[in-house]
Amino acid sequence: MSTRSRTDRPTLRVDRVACTGHGVCATLLPGSIRLDEWGYPVVLTAAEDGVDDGDEARAAAVRWCPALALYADRSS
Amino acid sequence: MNLVDVLEQSGLTGRGGAAFSTATKVRAAHEHGAGLLVNACDGEIGAVKDAFVVEHHLPELVRGATLVAGTRVRYAAHRGSATEARLRAAGLDVLAAPARYVSSEETSLISLAQGGLARPMTKRQPFVRGGSDSAGRRITPTVVLNAETVWRIAQVVERPDGAQWFRGHGLPDEPGPRLVAIGGAVPRPGVVETAAGVPLAALLGAAGADPGRTGPVIVGGLGGTVLRPDEAARVTWSRAGLAPLGGAPGPGVVHVLDAQACPVDALAAWFDHAAGESAGQCGPCMFGLPAIASDWHDLADGVRAGGSGSVSSRGARARLARRAESVRGRGACRFPDGVAGLASSALRALSDHLDDHARGQCVPGRTPRSSHEHALAH
């Protein structure tokens, strides 16, 4: 991974029941979220070539999710 | 000695499939003042052991539940089942769940018990601590334990040296007696009490089947693993024994496919069933499971298309494998993960049969190549 360590950050998770596949997250976080063939987000880990999109973009993606489905999991 | 310590010593794990430490769950339930839901739904395909526990060990089951949560206990069973009738006849507080696959998933039962639909909820934190569902509805702290698990709690606590007695069965890291339901194409389907470490052949034999001469065997139900007949005849029924084949003892069900019928068609019916059992809440499950079923039908239909050739079969298999991987970990519950595992194992175990279908042939009772090799090696 080229960017600084992300281990101190909460993991981004998707509430799959709430998510209806608007795709805003994938637009705001192009390095770490892609959409599957049906338009639902896949959160990429570093091992899956996920690239850090930065704190601001992460916060924006959580804030602007129309379904309030994207959240930062502080328990992990 | 207190309950949690005895359970810790016994090494009891959940018998519903996830095999999580019961001591840890009960400790959390006590810390958070959680009520208990006893899951006696037998929700997995072919599962009948919860019914067995309720039919034959109800007083112990009730005592086990009381040990965990006092009077704050409800018993979940499929609506209209004999288990529901038995629990009601005993005067117990019954939660009647719809007879759908995901309805008996633990968060579905918690939702149903608290006035919601019997559908899985996203676990932003374990519901033993309480929380809320995706619509913001408050969920009070609740722990769900499988009926066999609760019965085992009573056994461990009430027997002299119960933890030691319990550890006298099974393997050091998978201790205790356990129930397994064996069904499908066997002469004597039913429930047997066994323990991890037993040869799967012994379980097949107990049901009157001839190991090695059965059809493929599905261990663990719709979220389980397909084994070739020769694998089923030599594998050990335990986490360690089944792990190399992608399996686990899981919820304690073994289903034997008919050796005279096409296993590819049999699995098509399982995948169709899975697709219809999605709660339709989570996109990857709602769309992914029907896609997996459809991919499997494409492979099965190779025979009816007159054998479109191995190249397209390879492509279709790769697409199915990719889709199975893509749904893993992307549902509120583990249902898509389970079906993905079944699909991956079916691709592997039925590989020879799929080759036949690609060539436009279907030979139900064919002996897989690998078992010829196995026979030659001996």
What's residue B195's pLDDT?
A: 97
Residue B106 burial (10 A CB sphere; 0-12, 13-18, 19+): buried
Q: What is the enclosing helix (H) or strand (E) of B25?
A: helix B22-32
User: Model confidence at B290, in pLDDT bands (50, 70, 90)?
Assistant: very high
Spatial distance between the Cα atoms of A31 and A44, rounded to a whole number of angstroms = 8
Contact A16 B121 (CB under 8 A): no
What's residue B243's pLDDT?
A: 96
Residues B22 and B144 in one domain: yes
pLDDT digits (tens, 9 = 90+) for A6-22: 456 788 999 999 999 99
Contact A42 B287 (CB under 8 A): no
Contact A73 B121 (CB under 8 A): no
Among A16, A36, A75, the residue with its CB nearest the CB of B331 is A16
Q: What is the enclosing helix (H) or strand (E) of B63?
A: helix B58-69
* A17 contacts chain B (CB < 8 A): yes
Spatial distance between the Cα atoms of B208 and B202, rounded to a whole number of angstroms = 10
* A64 contacts chain B (CB < 8 A): no
- Write out the DSSP string of A39-76: S-EEE--GGGT-----HHHHHHHHHH-TTS-EEEETT-
User: Model confidence at B309, in pLDDT bands (50, 70, 90)?
Assistant: low
In b/e form, how buried is each residue of B344-360, taking b as 16+ CB within 10 angstroms? bbbbbbbeebbebbbbe
Residues B122 and B44 in one domain: yes
Contact A17 B124 (CB under 8 A): no
Residue B341 burial (10 A CB sphere; 0-12, 13-18, 19+): buried
- Among B166, B186, B184, B185, CA closest to B176: B166
A68: nearest CA partner in chain B:
B134
The CATH number covering residue B224 comes to: 3.10.20.600
Which domain-ending residue is among B164, B191, B220?
Answer: B164
| B189-205 mean pLDDT | 97
| B130-135 mean pLDDT | 91
pLDDT digits (tens, 9 = 90+) for A24-53: 999 999 999 999 999 999 999 877 778 889
Q: How far is A40 from chain B (nearest CA, A)?
A: 6
What's residue B253's pLDDT?
A: 96
| B249-271 mean pLDDT | 95
* % of chain B at pLDDT higher than 90: 85
pLDDT digits (tens, 9 = 90+) for B83-121: 999 999 999 999 999 999 999 999 999 999 999 999 999
Residues B15 and B152 in one domain: yes
Residues B251 and B291 in one domain: no
Which has more pLDDT, A47 or A3? A47
pLDDT digits (tens, 9 = 90+) for B147-196: 999 999 999 999 999 999 999 999 999 999 999 999 999 999 999 999 99
Which domain-ending residue is among B112, B135, B164?
Answer: B164
Contact B284 A17 (CB under 8 A): no
* A36 contacts chain B (CB < 8 A): yes
Res. A74: pLDDT tops 80: no
Q: Reduced to 3 states, what is the DSSP secondary structure of residue B145? A: strand
Residues B39 and B144 in one domain: yes
Contact B283 A20 (CB under 8 A): yes
What's residue B365's pLDDT?
A: 60
The CATH number covering residue B156 comes to: 3.40.50.11540
What's residue B18's pLDDT?
A: 85
Q: What is the enclosing helix (H) or strand (E) of B218?
A: strand B217-219
* A26 contacts chain B (CB < 8 A): no
pLDDT digits (tens, 9 = 90+) for B53-71: 999 999 999 999 999 999 9
Residue B273 burial (10 A CB sphere; 0-12, 13-18, 19+): middle
- Write out the DSSP string of B241-253: HHGGGT---TTTE
Contacts of A17 in chain B (CB under 8 A): 119-122, 133-134, 281-282, 332
Among A15, A36, A69, the residue with its CB nearest the CB of B326 is A36
The CATH number covering residue B323 comes to: 1.20.1440.230
What's residue A10's pLDDT?
A: 80
Within a domain: B171: no
Which domain-ending residue is among B256, B291, B320?
Answer: B256
Res. B13: pLDDT tops 80: yes
What's residue B376's pLDDT?
A: 42
Tell me the residue range of the domain where B304 lies. Answer: 263-374
Which has more pLDDT, B17 or B333? B333
Residues B225 and B273 in one domain: no
Contact B134 A15 (CB under 8 A): yes
Instruction: Give long-range contacts, CB 8 A cutoff, 24+ apart: B129-134.
Output: B129/B28, B129/B32, B130/B32, B130/B34, B133/A17, B134/A15, B134/A17, B134/A18, B134/A69
Preferred mutation among A40, A70, A71 to probe B, highest tally of B CBs within 10 A: A40
Q: Which CATH architecture has domain A16-73?
A: 2-Layer Sandwich (3.30)
In this structure, what DSSP letter does residue B100 have? -
Contact B122 A21 (CB under 8 A): no
Residue B124 burial (10 A CB sphere; 0-12, 13-18, 19+): middle
Residues B146 and B188 in one domain: no
- Among B75, B18, B26, CA closest to B44: B18
Which has more pLDDT, B375 or B53? B53
Among B125, B282, B326, the residue with its CB nearest the CB of A17 is B282
Within a domain: B11: yes
Domain coordinates in residue numbering, chain A: 16-73
Residues B284 and B228 in one domain: no
Spatial distance between the Cα atoms of B365 and B15, rounded to a whole number of angstroms = 34
ipTM field: 0.88
Res. B372: pLDDT tops 60: no
What's residue B77's pLDDT?
A: 98
What's residue B374's pLDDT?
A: 40
Residues B51 and B110 in one domain: yes
Residues B304 and B219 in one domain: no
| Domain count within chain B | 3
> For all residues of chain B together, what is the average pLDDT?
92
Residues B59 and B97 in one domain: yes
Residues B77 and B119 in one domain: yes
Beta-carbon contacts of residue B372 (< 8 Å; ≥ 6 apart): none
- Chain B residues at the A interface, defined by Cβ less than 8 Å, are 119-122, 124-125, 133-134, 281-285, 287-288, 326, 330-332
Res. B371: pLDDT tops 50: no
Res. B217: pLDDT tops 70: yes
